[in-house]
Structure 1
Amino acid sequence: MFPLFETILLQNSKLHNPEFHLERISSSRKKLWNKKDTADIQKIFSEFDPKLVENYQSEKKYKFKLSYDEKNAEYSVQLYKTRKINRLIALNADEIEYSLKYTNRLFFENLLFNNDISINTELIIIQKGFATDATYANLVFELDGEFFTPTNYILPGTKRAKYLKEKVITEREIRAGEINNFEKIHLINAMLNLGEITINSPFNIPK
């Protein structure tokens, strides 16, 4: 099993935001193996032709999963189904460390299982009193038409990086006790744009 992976949106005959994924792959290889080269990954991207498969040319979302180590990589493609989320629960989990996108995500699964979290519920992970991420997405908090993402993240996602670069969202520290002050909370990741999964207040997060 490859230790790291990237999930890339495949839709309308194209892989979306590959430059942000390449940047994270380069950074991850540098941290783990002191290697930044991504020529092998770029070769996979350039040789992959979604136009050869009729379904990939549609509005349907496909998950292009790229698994890799310091010198090898492989990919798989599967249809993506958006999970319906209608409730958020804040949970303290200072012990979680996931600064790289590791294939082993058992601790996230255990966090959901051990706290009896239902399929339509997602967590706001609290660390040292601050909101960070959900288990599979970055968070964006909306207030008066402005969009904020926590400075205290667990994993900086590629969609988060894109929105920050485009100045769609801005960073700010969000304390657990401030969560109820916001109007909406959005989940974003490589497969989810801003507004695709939105939970409206009241959130009823204990202070």
Structure 2
Amino acid sequence: MFLETICILHGEIQNRQGHEERMRQTASHFGFKAPALPDLLSLPVEELRVSKVKCRIIYHNTIEEISFERYTAGKVSSLKLIEAPIDYPFKFADRKTLNTLLAQKDDCDEILITRNGLITDTSYSNVVFGQGEQYFTPESTLLNGTKRQKLLQEGKITEKRIDRNSLIEYDRIYLINAMLDIADGVSLPVDRIIA
């Protein structure tokens, strides 16, 4: 089973095209036809109109489950660097591998995964590094997320090779995903990344 997480903000679906494209790419890779997204806004969920809502869709060749919950970003004040030979190019509903890595976070709030010393992602987000007024995202991502793709297309972030030794070149690290944008401010100083 595969997972798609979609942000609905004040009654508007965010980046629907990006999510549909990822579903098509996933289906094509695994040899099935992606199911069409239903009209999510016609579903009887009143909160869809008044807040930020996280819509989770579990699918394979059909939509298996749709759930909604009001979304509030969690606070992240520390990241633990974890080296792992992980490969995660598709968004699976089963997050066992990522959860196993997350269990190694010690006293930190979240993990930042490196592969061969290169920065990739956290357990639930892509990352962007701030350097003055410029924003960079690692080219060595685990999952090329829909928000990451959108920000790259808009020219708001630039891909760059970032390894654990070059972290000191940056001011802040921002966590981004379908629910989080740079402007949401889920970020921390790079000195809060613990080796």
TM-score, normalised via structure 2 length: 0.91
Q: How does 1:74-89 map onto structure 2 within 5 Å?
A: 74-89=65-80
| Residue aligned with 1:110, SS | helix
Higher fraction of strand: 2
**Deviation >6 Å, runs of 4+:** none
Unaligned runs of 5+ in 1: none
| Residue aligned with 2:121, SS | coil
1:24, CA displacement in angstroms? 0.3
Aligned residues: 194
- Identity among equivalent pairs (%): 29
1:103, CA displacement in angstroms? 0.7
Deviations 1:98-157 (Å, cap 9, x if unpaired)? 110001101211212244354xx1211110110011110000001021000000000010
Corresponding residue to 2:181 among 189, 193, 198: 193
Tell me the equivalent position of 1:107. Answer: 97
Corresponding residue to 2:149 among 141, 157, 161: 161
Corresponding residue to 1:54 among 46, 52, 70: 46
Tell me the equivalent position of 1:41. Answer: 36
For residues 139 and 85 of structure 1, the distance between their equivalents in structure 2, rounded to whole angstroms, comes to: 13
Corresponding residue to 2:14 among 8, 16, 41: 16
Deviations 1:16-47 (Å, cap 9, x if unpaired)? 111000000000000011x4x44x424x1x36
For residues 11 and 49 of structure 1, the distance between their equivalents in structure 2, rounded to whole angstroms, comes to: 15
| Residue aligned with 1:132, SS | strand
Contact 1:179 1:205 in 2 (8 A): no
Tell me the equivalent position of 1:67. Answer: 58
| Residue aligned with 1:156, SS | coil
Q: Does 1:203 align with 2:192?
A: yes
Unaligned runs of 5+ in 2: none
| Residue aligned with 1:195, SS | helix
Contact 1:7 1:66 in 2 (8 A): yes
For residues 87 and 47 of structure 1, the distance between their equivalents in structure 2, rounded to whole angstroms, comes to: 35
Tell me the equivalent position of 1:26. Answer: 24
Residue identity opposite 1:64 in structure 2: C
Q: 1:49 to 1:22 in 2, by over 3 A?
A: same
1:72, CA displacement in angstroms? 4.0
- Larger deviation: 154-163 or 109-118? 109-118
For residues 47 and 115 of structure 2, the distance between their equivalents in structure 1, rounded to whole angstroms, comes to: 41
Residue identity opposite 1:153 in structure 2: T
Contact 2:78 2:193 in 1 (8 A): no
CA RMSD of superposed structures (Å): 1.8
Tell me the equivalent position of 1:172. Answer: 160
Residue identity opposite 2:178 in structure 1: A
1:15, CA displacement in angstroms? 1.3
Deviations 1:50-87 (Å, cap 9, x if unpaired)? 6x5432211x2111111110244431111223111011
TM-score, normalised via structure 1 length: 0.86
Contact 1:180 1:203 in 2 (8 A): no
